[in-house]
Amino acid sequence: MTNYDSGISLSAPSGFTPQVTEFTGELTSIFKNPEQRKDPKGGAYTVDVVNFDFGECEWIATTSPQLDSNFTVKVNYNEDKADTPWDVLRKSLVRFMPDDFNSDIMQFMGYRFHCKFDDIKLNKPDELGTWGLQDAKGWVVVGIDGLVNRVVEDAENSLQDLIVDEIINGNNEADAVMAFHQHEAIRSMNGYDKVLTEITNGTYLGSLAEAGVISVDDENTWHKVEN
């Protein structure tokens, strides 16, 4: 098994980056165990570390071409503290958690993950020793095969609701398209680029109609379907 620390522990050297920084792999086990670490003054302390073991890995970004197909992501465990490596990784994971998992991360066993050692924000001291949110690197879950990122999905649904209510409802297609391009607020919303592509291709209104979200009357005016 190839093991690399997340690089965020206090004992890790500044600027530490693991040999693998992005990969996909099947989650084979999750476990927590204590590990001994050394502090800068030569002392020792114990930290709990969560290990995510992956098999059948495919490497997306790595500096080492000679790796086997297994990989372990290791993150210091801090259950009650926000903006730690564990908190960031956990939040990225639970975004994909279906309701029927009942908040049990062990239900992710056997799923294929896309993980990345990415830019994050952590609560840690700066060069002057002042604690606060600082730029850092850490492991996050980018995707899980067969599961939907519910935060992104909710954001895209919010964009759809706004478009239907304020742009499409009561307009014909030409007026709706014109209103879409003139609506400043939606341009910064998650999912805008995807909708823009569909509107440019002339498929957006039709897809909403097929989904039963909108309907068109005899005068080619679109209306929101009230459930």
Residues 114 and 183 in one domain: no
- Same domain for 206 and 139? no
Residue that finishes a domain, picked among 146, 161, 186: 146
Q: What is the pLDDT of residue 9?
A: 31
- Return the pLDDT at 219: 92
Domain limit, last residue, from 112, 146, 180: 146
**Could you tell me whether strands 112-125 and 71-76 are parallel, antiparallel, or unpaired per DSSP bridges?**
unpaired
Last residue in a domain, options 78, 113, 146: 146
Whole domain around residue 77: which residue ranges?
Answer: 3-146
Domain match, 140 and 166 both = no
| Domain match, 139 and 156 both | no
Regarding whether 67 and 7 lie in a shared domain, the answer is yes
Clarify whether residues 161 and 120 are in a common domain: no
Handedness of CA 158, 159, 164, 166 (dihedral sign): positive
What's the CA gap between 93 and 104, in Å, rounded?
11
Q: Is residue 101 classed as helix, strand or coil in its secondary structure?
A: helix
Please give the Cα distance from 157 to 199 (Å, whole number).
16
**According to the model, what pLDDT value does residue 4 have?**
34
Same domain, 141 and 201: no
Name the strand (E) or helix (H) holding 160. Answer: helix 150-163
Domain match, 73 and 180 both:
no
123 with 184, same domain?
A: no
Provide φ and ψ at 34, rounded to 5°: -80, 145
The ranges of the chain with pLDDT < 50 are 1-15
Give the residue carrying structure tokens 């503290």. 81
Residue 16: what pLDDT? 56
Q: Do residues 190 and 155 make contact, with C-beta atoms less than 8 angstroms apart?
A: yes
Same domain, residue pair 108 and 165: no
Residues 177 and 191 reside in one and the same domain: yes
pLDDT at 67: 79
* Alpha carbon distance 139, 62 (integer Å): 14
For the chain, how many structural domains are there in total? 2
Q: Are 121 and 172 in the same domain?
A: no
Residue 2, pLDDT score: 36
Instruction: State pLDDT tens for residues 139-176.
Output: 999 999 998 777 666 666 678 888 888 899 999 999 99
pLDDT digits (tens, 9 = 90+) for 116-137: 999 998 888 888 888 888 899 9
